[in-house]
């Protein structure tokens, strides 16, 4: 039986219904999708939904999915981002049929542009960027034709070739599609196809002084690769007429000569007309997904980098300890629809708890330590107790946990003046030490107002296997042996922002002003030895504290570092209630 979080689990939504219908009615013989991120930053949680959809649809229908880096803007693109994108896709549980770059097709794009010019569908414009905006019109007023719009195909072809040769300065000219400046869809008001930008490219070097625009390169890349279903988020719905306009006018399937540069390089894709389908993006509250704003947080040092565990990037979520299965489960829970909505961040946290509760081994740790001494045990007492690694799954096995006379417990498991309903340790009170037995607090050692030590007596008759082991008592607390526990750096992470909509500036504040000062706290804790020995990225439940992960970068057995993934319960629900 396939688990719901598996990449192979079957799903039902309107896109999959379209795919089923296309296959059943013979409109498509196979399924080809693609995931086409721009390598101008790190992927964020919104991309997780797109990855799960595009790769998932291809896998479910026995098709293929390409990973294509849409590298048409070299001024903002870095190999670092390319590497991270590939790593993120693999981490989420998917692999690609082909790794492609839009730059693989630059020669095809250019030959297609010449075809558009020769056939009167494109022209070279001398208007500046500001003048183009001025001529574009508004949502209620039509645009105005450029004075250069009626240049002859011969003149336009000559100018385009001179642009390609690097003759003109940046911004001096653009190649524009000749569509309709009065169109109600502003995207069809003679959009740019090529702009002059003399910037070296990470893949092509200085070979190109002109670069294609996204709307042009994206649809032709789909057509070149024979993509059958081009899955995009809703903001591209108004771009679909332009997408189809370019694909139809260029007609790669009917113009095989345009693909000659690819065949010479051994790339032989089945050019076809793709079908663009739009779906709603994944949006979470207490969150931002603007690459520009995320980059600002990094560049201004407001976070510790792109993989800061507070960040909504996939690298950040991974380092925080969110399992990929939780993101796949989130994508399923949110679903695929045509309606934009905002999902509460607690849904992601709930998915993480659900996955980790089943998958994470248990360990003992204390993050706000208070010393407890069991006075009726010898000073040199030490023994190994046997604990299950998972209380709900025997397949996890057991482990030895060292126990001694002196322990660390949590500060909030003791209260000198207990409130009503407090069932943990108090002066003269009893509590069960997890796996040990019942202790009574006989003496409280203080330094001023601060409690520094509890001196307790262990009821030996309540130890496991003894006659009184089943004696009823309300409270049970965890502990670690002070003699054996290892110091650990514990990083307590929370939501990056302290308001649901950080982009709402109605109060005169920007997203920077809403950074949550409690989003990261670093404390010194103690962990049982077996917790320190785990490999980086091992996820554990620290009993009664939450789910934690051994930090991907900094953890080692000699210097344990753990990040809190999520608390055991939704603490934000209580704050907002």
Any known ligand binding at 193? no
Residues facing residue 388 across a β-bridge: 398
Q: Domains for the chain: give ranges and CATH numbers.
A: 361-576 (2.40.240.10)
**Selected catalytic residue, list 16, 38, 173, 189:** 38
Any known ligand binding at 435? no
pTM: 0.93
Any known ligand binding at 44? yes
Q: Is residue 193 a contact partner of residue 211, using CB atoms and an 8 Å limit?
A: no
Q: Is residue 479 a contact partner of residue 364, using CB atoms and an 8 Å limit?
A: yes
As averages over each run of 10 residues, the pLDDT of the chain (577 residues) reads 56 92 94 97 97 97 97 94 97 97 97 98 97 95 97 98 98 98 97 97 96 97 96 96 98 93 85 93 95 96 97 98 98 94 96 98 98 97 97 97 98 95 95 97 95 98 95 96 97 96 92 96 97 98 98 97 95 60
| Nearest Cα to Cα of residue 276 among 323, 319, 230 | 230
The rounded distance, in Å, linking the Cα atoms of 327 and 56 is 13
372 membership: H or E segment, kind and range: strand 369-374
Any known ligand binding at 336? no
The rounded distance, in Å, linking the Cα atoms of 529 and 537 is 17
3-state SS class at 529: helix
Any known ligand binding at 110? no
DSSP line for 250-307: H-TTT-GGGGHHHHHTT--------EEEEEPPP-BSS----HHHHHHHHHTTSSSSTT
Predicted pLDDT at 8 = 60
The rounded distance, in Å, linking the Cα atoms of 161 and 207 is 14
The rounded distance, in Å, linking the Cα atoms of 80 and 41 is 9
What phi and psi values does residue 348 have, to the nearest 5 degrees?
Answer: -60, -45
Q: Is 38 labeled as catalytic in the residue annotation?
A: yes
**Selected catalytic residue, list 273, 291, 463, 544:** 291
Any known ligand binding at 332? no
The rounded distance, in Å, linking the Cα atoms of 194 and 157 is 13
**Cβ-based neighbours of 118, under 8 Å, separated by 6 or more:** 153, 157
The rounded distance, in Å, linking the Cα atoms of 167 and 171 is 12
The rounded distance, in Å, linking the Cα atoms of 42 and 306 is 7
Alpha helices by DSSP H, listed for 194-235, are 214-224
Any known ligand binding at 39? yes
3-state SS class at 149: coil
Any known ligand binding at 45? yes
Any known ligand binding at 312? no
3-state SS class at 539: strand
* Token pair in block for residue 309: 């565990």
Q: Is 281 labeled as catalytic in the residue annotation?
A: yes
Any known ligand binding at 70? yes
The rounded distance, in Å, linking the Cα atoms of 511 and 88 is 26
Any known ligand binding at 281? yes
Predicted pLDDT at 1 = 36
Q: Which residue has the tokens 């993509």?
A: 227
Any known ligand binding at 390? no
Q: Is 225 labeled as catalytic in the residue annotation?
A: no
Number of H helices, E strands in the chain: 15, 25
**Selected catalytic residue, list 149, 197, 281, 544:** 281
Residues facing residue 488 across a β-bridge: 525
Any known ligand binding at 101? no
């Amino acid at each position: 039986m396939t688990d719901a979080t598996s990449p192979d689990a079957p799903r039902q939504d309107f896109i999959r219904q379209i795919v089923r219908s296309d296959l059943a009615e013979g409109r498509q013989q196979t399924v080809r999708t693609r995931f086409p991120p721009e390598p101008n930053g790190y992927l964020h949680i919104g991309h997780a939904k797109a990855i799960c959809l595009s790769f998932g649809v291809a896998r479910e229908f026995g098709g293929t999915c390409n990973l294509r880096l849409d590298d048409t803007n070299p001024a903002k693109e870095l190999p670092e981002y390319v590497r991270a994108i590939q790593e993120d896709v693999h981490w989420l549980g998917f692999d690609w049929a082909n790794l492609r770059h839009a730059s693989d097709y630059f020669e095809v794009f250019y030959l297609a542009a010449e075809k558009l010019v020769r056939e009167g569908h494109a022209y070279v414009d001398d208007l500046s960027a500001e003048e183009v905006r001025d001529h574009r019109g508004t949502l209620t007023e039509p645009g105005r034709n450029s004075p250069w719009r009626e240049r002859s195909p011969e003149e336009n072809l000559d100018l385009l070739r001179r642009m390609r040769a690097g003759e003109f300065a940046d911004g001096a000219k653009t190649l524009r599609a000749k569509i309709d400046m009065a169109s109600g869809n502003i995207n069809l008001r003679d959009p740019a196809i090529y702009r002059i930008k003399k910037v070296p490219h990470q893949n092509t070097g200085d070979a190109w002084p002109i670069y294609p625009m996204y709307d042009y390169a994206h649809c032709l890349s789909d057509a070149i690769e024979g993509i059958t279903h081009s899955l995009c988020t809703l903001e591209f719905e108004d771009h679909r007429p332009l997408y189809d306009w370019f694909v139809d006018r260029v007609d790669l399937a009917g113009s095989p000569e345009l693909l000659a540069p690819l065949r010479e390089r051994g790339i032989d894709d089945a050019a076809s007309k793709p079908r663009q389908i739009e779906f709603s993006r994944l949006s979470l509250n207490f969150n931002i997904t603007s690459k520009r704003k995320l980059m600002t947080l990094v560049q201004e040092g407001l976070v510790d980098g792109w993989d800061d565990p507070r960040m909504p990037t996939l690298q950040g979520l991974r380092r925080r300890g969110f399992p990929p299965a939780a993101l796949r489960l989130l994508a399923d829970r949110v679903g695929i629809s045509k309606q934009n909505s905002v999902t509460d961040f607690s849904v992601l946290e709930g998915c993480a708890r659900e996955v980790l509760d089943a998958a994470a081994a248990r360990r003992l740790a204390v993050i706000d330590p208070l010393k407890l001494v069991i006075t009726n045990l010898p000073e040199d007492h030490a023994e190994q107790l046997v604990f299950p690694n998972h209380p709900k799954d025997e397949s996890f096995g057991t482990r030895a946990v060292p126990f001694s006379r002196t322990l660390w417990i949590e500060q909030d498991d003791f209260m000198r003046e207990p409130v009503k309903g407090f069932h943990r340790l108090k002066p003269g009170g009893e509590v069960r030490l997890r796996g040990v037995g019942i202790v009574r607090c006989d003496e409280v050692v203080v330094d001023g107002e601060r409690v520094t030590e509890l001196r307790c007596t262990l009821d030996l008759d309540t130890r496991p296997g003894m006659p009184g082991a089943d004696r009823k008592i309300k409270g049970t607390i965890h502990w670690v042996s002070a003699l054996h526990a290892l110091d650990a750096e514990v990083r307590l992470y929370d939501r990056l922002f302290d308001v649901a909509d950080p982009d709402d500036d109605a109060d005169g504040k920007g997203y920077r002003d809403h950074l949550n000062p409690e989003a990261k706290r670093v404390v010194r804790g103690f962990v049982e030895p077996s917790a320190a020995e785990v490999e980086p990225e091992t996820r554990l439940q620290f009993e009664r504290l939450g789910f934690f992960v051994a930090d991907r970068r900094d953890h080692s057995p000699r210097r344990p570092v753990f990040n809190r993934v999520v608390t055991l319960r939704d603490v934000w629900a209580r704050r907002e209630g």
